[in-house]
Amino acid sequence: MKILLTKFTLLAKDKKAWLALIAGLVLTFAYAPFEIWPIAFFSLAAIIFCINPKNTGKKHAKTAAKYGFIFGLGWFGAGISWVHVSIATFGGMPLIASLALMALLCSYLALFPALAFWATTRFASGPKSYGALLIVSFAISEYLRAHLLTGFPWLSFGYTQTDSPLRLLAPYIGEFGLTLVCIAIGFALYRLSQKDFKTLAITSSALALLFAGAYTTGTAQYSGKSMSTLLVQGNIKQSLRFDPSQFWTTMSKYQDLTRTHWDADLIVWPEAAVPEIEALADSYLAGLDSAASFNKTALITGVVDYQLDTKTIFNTLIVVGNKNKEDEHGHYRYLDKNRYQKHQLLPIGEFVPFEDLLRPIAPLFDLPMSSFTRGDKVQNNLRANGFNILPAICYEIVFADLVRGNYQHSSDLLFTVSNDAWFGDSIGPHQHMQIARMRALELQRPLIRVTNNGVSGVYDPISHTQQSMPQFEATTMKADVKLIQGDSVYSQYGNMFVWGFVLLLGVGGFASRFKVGSIKN
């Protein structure tokens, strides 16, 4: 106990540790809803200053990992504080237990920047190779964060640039590439503070080349066509969403909100807007199908599909009404192939790892609808009233490769649904919308996002304009969406070119290390 107290006292007196923590904490203001994007660069410069690239090698790697971990605690502790809203409100756990669970989650996520700074410091030969290897290390650590234990790629640095001039590079290098650009700029700012103007000049020249390439190779443009869309936001209280006695009330509410707006080309409802399982809601869905078809439109809604024969349950999007504009009758049938089943499930919320052990512990691990089955990773676009709709349900929109994997040349728009009522009036829903907008920038397709209680809206990635509905209101919004044609570089090649650049940097960084080593010998 005395040893731990001594270590804590030393840490409390460590000014660089405090700076690392503050650098992580202020990163929250670079993301939505604050969107002060330059903070990301200065925050990264600050943590690099704490670690000091002049101190490299095995001897200093442990210290770098320590500061990287503290930085990560601030970064995720403030940035994903909205998770605690869900745990505290719906988890049914004592405050001390919910805080401990949050501390465990943030500590796990902080391991990844700690790993990046440890590896960079361990293998760099000095400040010159440090920048290159820092980009390589973060590329690897962020990839691991996005994939290990199903992945949690929330709050990547690239999202801070959704509203900055750097967003113009998203169709070419994606959010992952923008994350590495942020790290490069942060390192250049640190080197500038050390009166090294060469690094800043190299970084600026590289960015200029990227922008020049983007300007000369742009392919996505307006097609000259548009579609009218109706977004319906029910604002159903989370405590009532899966109460069987409220199912009909919820479904009637969505029907009533839609009743006077059947003139839109496409009508969209949120995730599980129809809370009754699909097989038992057949008469209700048949009625919607007839109404939509009669008005020569289509409606997409979320619904829970519990298949009685196989005992599997899917978080599903279905289309009722016209599949094509020339249809004279609706085409909805239970288990019709024109549907989308969620693939990337939310841990705890939609599936529970080690469920036999965890479910008895607390209500948090035994939430309603927490036993979903994965849909296929690659699925067809939804077909609705002649349009091809690229779907993603809730948490899936965070996984760029998954969304891109379902993109097709014929995709007319990106459509995502969610229920962010779990997170109350926190920053979480705003970050979620920002992430969705980044996917639209990458794929150069207009975005329609509809949720139970916000943030719902429409986003145009070319004009960078957004129409949003007020949060926490039961309301509708009509929007005319300009369609876009042409494929972005990112939609066709993903992160292939970015990883190629990372490989070159890795070779260059290690070559520099070996060169220094041979000179010393």
185, 323: one domain? no
Total number of domains constituting the chain: 2
Count of Cβ atoms closer than 10 Å to residue 352 Cβ: 18
511, 515, 517, 521: CA torsion to nearest 10: 150
319, 230: one domain? yes
Q: Is residue 270, in this structure, part of any structural domain at all?
A: yes
Instruction: Please give the pLDDT value at position 272.
Output: 94
Instruction: Please give the pLDDT value at position 369.
Output: 59
205, 351: one domain? no
Q: Is residue 476, in this structure, part of any structural domain at all?
A: yes
81, 48: one domain? yes
375, 513: one domain? no
Burial 184-222 (b: 16+ CB within 10 A, else e): bbbbbbbbeeeeeeebeeebeeebeebeeebeeebebee
Residue 90 has, within 13 A of its CA and on its CB side, a CA count of 21
Q: Is residue 2, in this structure, part of any structural domain at all?
A: no
Q: Is residue 258, in this structure, part of any structural domain at all?
A: yes
| 83-111 pLDDT, tens digit each | 988 887 776 677 888 899 899 999 999 99
- Residue whose tokens read 């059947």: 262
Instruction: Please give the pLDDT value at position 479.
Output: 97
Q: Is residue 114, in this structure, part of any structural domain at all?
A: yes
Structure tokens at 331: 């085409």
Extended strands (E) in 27-111: none
Instruction: Please give the pLDDT value at position 521.
Output: 40
Domain with 377 in it: what CATH number?
A: 3.60.110.10
Q: Is residue 1, in this structure, part of any structural domain at all?
A: no
464, 501: one domain? no
Kindly list the catalytic residues.
Answer: 271, 342, 394
For residue 118, the enclosing domain spans 13-218+495-518
169, 254: one domain? no
187, 137: one domain? yes
Count of Cβ atoms closer than 10 Å to residue 59 Cβ: 10
Count of Cβ atoms closer than 10 Å to residue 168 Cβ: 16
Instruction: Please give the pLDDT value at position 238.
Output: 86
Q: Is residue 4, in this structure, part of any structural domain at all?
A: no
350, 370: one domain? yes
* Residue pair 272/241 in contact by the 8 Å Cβ criterion: yes
Count Cβ atoms within 10 A of the Cβ of residue 29 and give its class: 0-12 exposed, 13-18 middle, 19 or more buried.
middle
| 114-169 pLDDT, tens digit each | 999 999 999 998 888 999 999 999 999 999 999 999 999 999 999 999 999 999 99
Q: For the chain, list residues with pLDDT below 50.
A: 359-360, 365, 517-521
Q: Is residue 458, in this structure, part of any structural domain at all?
A: yes
Structure tokens at 448: 């329609």
* Residue pair 185/62 in contact by the 8 Å Cβ criterion: no
- Residue whose tokens read 């604050």: 34
226, 213: one domain? no
Of 438, 302, 367, 502, nearest to 91 by C-alpha is 367
202, 320: one domain? no
- Residue whose tokens read 């969620």: 342
pTM beyond 0.75: the answer is yes
State how far the Cα of 330 lies from the Cα of 441, in Å rounded to an integer. Answer: 33
458, 359: one domain? yes
In one-letter notation, the amino acid at residue 319 is: V
Q: Residue 296 — left, alpha, or beta (φ > 0 → left; ψ -120 to 50 → alpha)?
A: left
